[in-house]
Amino acid sequence: MSLPKMLAQRHGSPLYVYDLDRVLAARRDLSDALPPGCDVYYALKANPHPDLARELRLGGCKAEISSLGELASALTAGFDAGDVLYTGPGKTPSELDSAFALGVRRFSAESPTDLQHIGAAALRCGTVASCLLRINSETSAANTGIRMTGRPSQFGIDSETIAGLAAELRAVPGTTIEGLHLFSQSNAESEDALIGELSHAVELAAHLEKELDVTLGLLDIGGGFAAPYGRHGSRCLYPRLRPALESVLDEWFPRWCEGTPRLAVEAGRYLVGDSGTLVTTVSNMKTSRGKTFVVLDAGINTFGGMSGLGRTLPVSVEIDGDGPRKAFLAGPLCTPGDILGREVPIPDLRPGDLVEIPNAGAYGVTASPLMFLGRPAPTEVVVRGGEVVSVSRIEHVRRCAG
């Protein structure tokens, strides 16, 4: 019996098991694929579990967050607030004040008004914010993965408007333009697509540096590093990415090796996706008009899909022990939308059996409608070398607001 199933027998299901050895392996693989000196920001939206975040901090990562909740997780994991990158298009005055009070000084500005709001909060705190201007590129090098640019968007300043806004952006009180933030896609479908998009970001940044009339200190070219989600498979490896990026950096930023600018990327699912296994129990099985339904104790409230996909449900999960039969994998919720997979190959199953969903370390618990119908959150177990590091579960508590 696998370790995740053994842990489920001890702690019950649904149960997430995260393996820190896999987190460390992913961090090493990504480091090997990047130019020397490149900063890696861990996007806590993928999985804010403090033990996973702490492992990545110890592995040299910095933290990218977009809420005070994620900031709290990052600080719990030991990240230095001064190295955190605070992103997102809807930063409110109160959360900016709180972030500054906690020591955050680096922000991604999504628009001229967002930059003004950051500056006003910095002045209230008696400091200056180091800002990356997030850019919504007018063009792209690829049309794969989840697109974040090249269309009207709440994310980023339209690249074609930078020249006309340069003086205004440089003059915002309480801010200094430290660099640029170009995040164009997620989960690139191939290494060629990833190289094309990141190379395009470097070239665009060189042109924008001239239009802004600033010297870039930090260039965040985003991510797109791919990993399977709830299905069998392995993380992508990128043997050609490092030399390709070094070549394009040599062309457009000949002093990059000296740290002008310092290069950064962001990664979430790539770093934690294959560390996680979701164990769920078969509650019931039935046949309806010729179709087999396997009802599990984990549904969309437990593994609800990535918000970045623009839909609630994963495309389709897979389970261990594929067999000749096919079935719909349904969750326990009282809604017909609680389907984790359609016509998924299954082994011989019966109520009470444990099954595993692989590659579930990213966009799991906290990317799900966890409170829908009031079912308890799944237990989360962290292991290293086959030994349990921690056991925890998210609890929801209603408190009076008066």
Give the residue from 267, 294, 322 where a domain finishes.
267
In a domain, 328, yes or no: yes
How buried is 252 (Cβ within 10 angstroms: 0-12 exposed, 13-18 middle, 19+ buried)? Answer: middle
The pLDDT, as a whole number, for residue 397 is: 85
Asked if residue 298 lies in contact with residue 376, where contact means CB atoms within 8 angstroms, the answer is: no
Among 135, 136, 228, CA closest to 180: 135
124's tokens = 């209230």
CA dist 384 and 388 (Å) reads 7
142's tokens = 């690829």
Domain identity same for 82 and 209: yes
The pLDDT, as a whole number, for residue 184 is: 76
Domain identity same for 50 and 145: yes
Domain identity same for 202 and 234: yes
Domain identity same for 242 and 288: no
pLDDT digits (tens, 9 = 90+) for 16-30: 999 999 999 999 999
Asked if residue 203 lies in contact with residue 137, where contact means CB atoms within 8 angstroms, the answer is: no
Asked if residue 264 lies in contact with residue 61, where contact means CB atoms within 8 angstroms, the answer is: no
Q: DSSP per residue over 312-372, as a string?
A: SS-S----SS--SEEEEEE-SSSSTT-EEEEEEEE-S--TT-EEEESS-SSSSGGGS-TTG
Residues of the chain with pLDDT under 50: 142-147, 307-309
Domain identity same for 170 and 315: no
In a domain, 21, yes or no: no
41's tokens = 């920001």
Domain identity same for 105 and 225: yes
Q: What CATH number is attached to the domain comprising 246?
A: 3.20.20.10
Among 182, 72, 125, 114, CA closest to 63: 72
Q: Sign of the CA dihedral 46, 49, 52, 55?
A: positive
Domain identity same for 282 and 248: no
Domain that holds residue 291: 3-13+274-392
Measuring CA to CA, how many Å separate 208 from each of 22, 137, 261, 315? 38, 11, 13, 38
The pLDDT, as a whole number, for residue 374 is: 86
In a domain, 22, yes or no: no
In a domain, 24, yes or no: no
CA dist 234 and 227 (Å) reads 7
Domain identity same for 88 and 225: yes
pLDDT digits (tens, 9 = 90+) for 301-355: 999 875 444 555 566 789 998 788 999 999 999 988 889 999 999 999 999 999 9
In a domain, 398, yes or no: no
In a domain, 26, yes or no: no
CA dist 33 and 54 (Å) reads 22
Domain identity same for 131 and 259: yes
- The dihedral region occupied by 344, where left means phi > 0, alpha psi between -120 and 50, and beta the remainder, is beta
CA angle, residues 392, 40, 144, in degrees to nearest 5: 95
Give the residue from 267, 293, 315 where a domain finishes.
267
Domain identity same for 197 and 341: no
Asked if residue 378 lies in contact with residue 298, where contact means CB atoms within 8 angstroms, the answer is: yes
The pLDDT, as a whole number, for residue 402 is: 72
Give the residue from 223, 239, 267 where a domain finishes.
267
Across 70-103, b (16+ Cβ under 10 Å) vs e yields bbebbbebebebebbbbbbeebeeebbeebbeee
Domain identity same for 239 and 348: no
In a domain, 95, yes or no: yes
The pLDDT, as a whole number, for residue 213 is: 95
234's tokens = 């392995």
In a domain, 151, yes or no: yes
Q: DSSP per residue over 179-229, as a string?
A: EEE---EES-SSHHHHHHHHHHHHHHHHHHHHHHT---SEEE--------S
Residues near 20 by beta carbon (within 8 Å), at least 6 away in sequence: 51, 52, 55, 275, 382, 383, 384, 389
The pLDDT, as a whole number, for residue 145 is: 47
Domain identity same for 164 and 186: yes
Among 337, 363, 379, CA closest to 10: 379
CA dist 258 and 239 (Å) reads 24
Number of domains present in the structure of the chain: 2
